[in-house]
Amino acid sequence: MSEKRPPGDATPRTWFRARLEAQLRLALLGDTACMITLAQLMNQAQRAGLSGAEIDAARAGRSFEVRASILLAYARALKQGDPIEADRKRQRGARLGVTALAFERIAQATDRILRDAR
């Protein structure tokens, strides 16, 4: 399988952020019954370069990239108000090289996404 690359003049960092943001939105809001919201989430994910399989995985709170998968699971634990599970995800992520700053940024993004969705 070929490695995905940033389109055009996007830097790898901004491209990765856009992909992770789209995955995070799908993981947190992808269970909506609102077809308009779901279509918007899927459009955003496609624009960020996610494949159909990646979109399906993100809606289930997973990613094919192990660190992103941990971050998505952490965000879902925060959404569910489960601090024990969130702490487990942080510990597992730390063992895999996910930084405390990454978890902090995901927590902030989770709050923002859920607040904006209300």
- Sign of the torsion angle spanned by Cα atoms 39, 118, 50, 59: negative
The single-letter DSSP state of residue 59 is H
Q: How is 44-84 classified by DSSP, letter by letter?
A: HHHHTT--HHHHHHHHTT--SSHHHHHHHHHHHHHHTT-HH
Domain ranges of the chain: 13-117
Rg (CA), the chain: 14
What distance lies between CA 73 and its chain's CA centroid?
9
pTM, to two decimals: 0.86
Q: What is the pLDDT of residues 11-49, one digit of tens each?
A: 656 767 889 999 999 999 998 889 999 999 999 999 999
